Structure 1
Amino acid sequence: MGLSKDVKKELLERHLVPKNCTKIDAPKLNPEIKAALSDMLIKKDKAIENKQTQVAAEKPPSAETETGSCPNFKPEASVPGSSASGSSEEVRADSHDDIALTAAAAAAAAAALSASPTPAPLDPPSQADVDCREVIRTALLKRSVPPSSLNIMIASLSKNSIKQYDVAIRRWVSFCRKNNIDIYEASTPMVIYFLTELFQLGLQYGSLNSHRSALSLILGSRVGSDDRITRLFKGFYRLRPPAPKYDITWDPAVVLEFLANWYPNNNLNLEYLTKKVVTLLMLVTAHRVQTIGKINLDNITINNNHQLISIKIHDLIKTSRPGSAQPYLNIPFYKDRPEICPAKTLVTYIDRTKPLRNNEKVLFISFKKPHKSVSTNTISRWIKDTLSVSGVDTSIFSAHSVRHAATSAAYRKGINIDTIRNTAGWNGNSRVFARFYHRDIQCNQSNQFALSILNTEAD
């Protein structure tokens, strides 16, 4: 419809745009509507806008411009095979069609904001060409972060966080590619579509929160602060509330009575001695496996005439924050039952492994050659093996369940909740002194938690 290309070119050459008509522009797309449109629709609207601008430039002059503003206009000139009035009608028809198309684009945007989306299904997060760190780097650069600051900002993320976000970012890249969306400039409605699809796939509240955190690294804080996304997560919480990992726990006395059979310590082979000491340390400290894996020989101190072993943890752990105190572990000598004494077992382990270390300072090393330091996964496997042979159902309980069992047992035996919090590394008011003055403190209750666990008498 409308004028042919050759006719338009001829008209532009023969009739200049009047000076009083230079401000006739095509309507601009509303920014709110534009945010909800796909790249394809935006490009289509831009093409329509360019066409309407060109039509405005080609508009035949009116009678007023014939006599005044447009001296170059020649009344006798007309499009071959048609009258001037006919050409004007075609131009107006063409313009009306374009306006109708723009209205259709606006209607499509409104529908995108209100109707349920039908994005392409997510692929499994397995694209080999997606590098989580590089995606985050590119996102930061697009948000005007100086290149010299990139490595520092990336360093704020731990290895475990990067590993966790990697799955989320791969899923996001897959979703964006399937739906022709810019990874770094996606609209909030598209983020909602993405999160909703993950929810429909069965992801739990914690996993969805992890995906939101990953998207915040790419798209900025709006992912966490937008009221629509906040409302969406409230819905996630109500429809699929997070449940505790364990509804029940096991009795530490069962494991302690089993470990009492692994005695004397000097007669144990290195494998049994290793598994015994690491399980005892987990029970009497109630810390995470990560914390136990960070113990360094240089930070172990035997004091109070062999009444207590103190262990400082200087390396950063999961709960490390600016201004917070690092873990300080107290391991008592339990003389009432030396066969399950954690401090005595620890001293034996240190002496046994001393000639095998080759300057290895990390406490726990492999009981097989070449006796190198081990990962937290290995330590978890040792603990789980010990729980299994002790009679704990390891098809239900993992190594981390030691933390649940120990704190629950201490609470049942009447240990003050603040003492439990301090021992296990949870925040509590009783830690304010240590946080602000950075001094190593030992209160009178420092051993109560560990001693309550080692006392295997019935509650």
Structure 2
Amino acid sequence: MSTLGEGQQVSVRTPTYSSPSTKLTVMSTNLQVVREIIADVSLPAEIEDVILCSWRQSTRKQYDVHIRKWRQFCFQREIDFLHPVVGDVLKFLHNLFKEEGLSYSSLNTARSALACCFTDYQGREDRPLTHHVLVTKYMKGVFNCRPPAPRYAVTWDANIVLDYLALMQPLDKLSLRDLSYKLVMLMALTSGQRCNMLAGLDTKSMIKSENSFDFSITVLAKQDRPNKLFSSLRFKKYSKQELCVFNTLESYLDRTQPLRSESKLLISYVRPFKSVGVSTIGRWLKTLLGLAGIDTVMFTAHSTRAASASKASRSIPVDEILKHIGWASATTFNRYYNKPIDNSNKNAYDVAVLQ
């Protein structure tokens, strides 16, 4: 690995591609690459498996994209993809920046993916090549040239969706599809959680009391860390019956009871009524947003977190929001989720005059 010492010049040569252990394998993934590297440490397979679990599934998918690109980049230029020089890494990152137009955030993900390949698992070197001083400076330059921007400058008015949900009554007259839509939207708004958290809810870990449904969380939240776990979700009764998530969930459980063949809370509203995944829940949320009149070209299912948290911040302290959703600090909330509410759908004074 190349390091920069005082008075040293940085090599940007292209080494000969000759190592049989680093030949391009089209179907190789991030985990296979890392497993090959860890194999040099001569660990039992069971220990390797646990080490590989340090990357969550979503992270693996993100990394795989960039590692495949890196392999292809190296193959075309006859570079040893596990033992490049710093100039090769910079050329690859610059290709992603210039040719593919990647943002700072995406480029940082690519850098982290490469770090998996370049890490010395024997512990002989403290830092991988991706932390070379020139790579660090390059990333800072990317940040200055193309500053990261939040996806949404504003968020939609939760009252618009709540008004639509209030019309979806009575519950026993709704189709199972509409009941499912209403439930997931109320759960998303009142919990502020991601789709993967809702998809992981299980009736086996559910406790019903007079005024609430409590779920023990059996999946890891994105913000979970070894010293901070989000352990439970509670859906409480609300005074307005038409917006009560407790009543809606109770009705949903009664309706789906004879259809269930598994314990996951949310199931499909069509045969064979199997449990639904993250993408399906996201589609349900986005569909209901569209029905309520929200611009679904601009806003995705994930926007429910910002809309929910932004509305709650108008009436309760930020500390309560952080505790409820599971954020560690107000920085995340203020940077990504606390947005001005878009009232463009309402008749402002100037619009009313001009109409």
TM-score by length of 1: 0.64
Of structures 1 and 2, the one scoring higher in RCO (CA 8 A, sep 6+) is 2
Could you tell me whether the CA contact under 8 Å between 2:224 and 2:230 is conserved in 1?
A: yes
Report matched runs for 1:192-231 at 5 Å.
Answer: 192-201=90-99, 202-220=101-119, 221-231=127-137
Q: 2:236 aligns with which of 316, 323, 332?
A: 332
> 1:245: Cα distance to partner?
0.6
Moved more, 368-377 or 130-139: 130-139
> 1:279: Cα distance to partner?
0.4
Is 1:350 the counterpart of 2:350? The answer is no
Could you tell me whether the CA contact under 8 Å between 1:301 and 1:311 is conserved in 2?
A: yes
Is 1:294 the counterpart of 2:270? The answer is no
SS of 2:215's partner is strand
Q: 2:277 aligns with which of 375, 379, 404?
A: 375
Number of residue pairs the alignment of both structures matches: 309
Could you tell me whether the CA contact under 8 Å between 1:212 and 1:223 is conserved in 2?
A: no
Partner letter of residue 312 of structure 2? A
Counterpart of 2:65 in structure 1 is 167
Could you tell me whether the CA contact under 8 Å between 1:140 and 1:218 is conserved in 2?
A: no
Counterpart of 2:13 in structure 1 is 37
Quick one: distance in 2 between partners of 1:228 and 1:364? 49
Q: 2:213 aligns with which of 309, 317, 322?
A: 309
> 1:251: Cα distance to partner?
0.8
Q: Deviations over 1:124-150 (max 9, x none)?
A: xxx8433332222223335x3525332
Counterpart of 2:43 in structure 1 is 146
Quick one: distance in 1 between partners of 2:265 and 2:141? 46
> 1:308: Cα distance to partner?
2.6
Quick one: distance in 1 between partners of 2:15 and 2:169? 71
Is 1:264 the counterpart of 2:161? The answer is no
Partner letter of residue 316 of structure 1? L
Q: Deviations over 1:267-288 (max 9, x none)?
A: 1111110110000000001111
Counterpart of 1:131 in structure 2 is 29
Cα 1:369–1:36 change in 2 (3 A) is same
Quick one: distance in 2 between partners of 1:403 and 1:417? 14
Quick one: distance in 2 between partners of 1:285 and 1:379? 15
> 1:310: Cα distance to partner?
2.1
SS of 1:316's partner is coil
Q: 2:83 aligns with which of 185, 188, 207?
A: 185
> 1:422: Cα distance to partner?
1.2
Q: 1:274 aligns with which of 175, 180, 189?
A: 180
Counterpart of 1:122 in structure 2 is none
Could you tell me whether the CA contact under 8 Å between 1:327 and 1:425 is conserved in 2?
A: no
Partner letter of residue 301 of structure 1? I
Q: Deviations over 1:129-174 (max 9, x none)?
A: 33332222223335x3525332222122222111111110011001
SS of 1:39's partner is coil
Quick one: distance in 2 between partners of 1:41 and 1:366? 51
Greater C-alpha radius of gyration: 1
Counterpart of 2:321 in structure 1 is 420
Partner letter of residue 271 of structure 1? R
Quick one: distance in 2 between partners of 1:166 and 1:314? 26
Cα 1:348–1:167 change in 2 (3 A) is same
Moved more, 413-422 or 32-41: 32-41
SS of 1:329's partner is strand
Quick one: distance in 1 between partners of 2:26 and 2:167? 50
Cα 1:186–1:141 change in 2 (3 A) is farther
SS of 1:234's partner is helix
Quick one: distance in 1 between partners of 2:17 and 2:78? 11
Could you tell me whether the CA contact under 8 Å between 1:310 and 1:328 is conserved in 2?
A: yes
> 1:407: Cα distance to partner?
0.5
Counterpart of 2:286 in structure 1 is 384
> 1:428: Cα distance to partner?
4.5
> 1:325: Cα distance to partner?
2.2
Is 1:157 the counterpart of 2:55? The answer is yes
SS of 2:58's partner is helix
Partner letter of residue 233 of structure 2? L
Partner letter of residue 146 of structure 1? L
Quick one: distance in 2 between partners of 1:223 and 1:424? 37
> 1:240: Cα distance to partner?
0.7
SS of 1:208's partner is helix
RMSD over aligned Cα, in angstroms? 2.2
> 1:231: Cα distance to partner?
1.1
> 1:319: Cα distance to partner?
2.1
Unaligned segments of structure 2, at least 5 residues: 1-7, 19-24, 120-126, 331-355
Partner letter of residue 217 of structure 1? C
Report matched runs for 1:91-106 at 5 Å.
Answer: none
Counterpart of 1:319 in structure 2 is 223
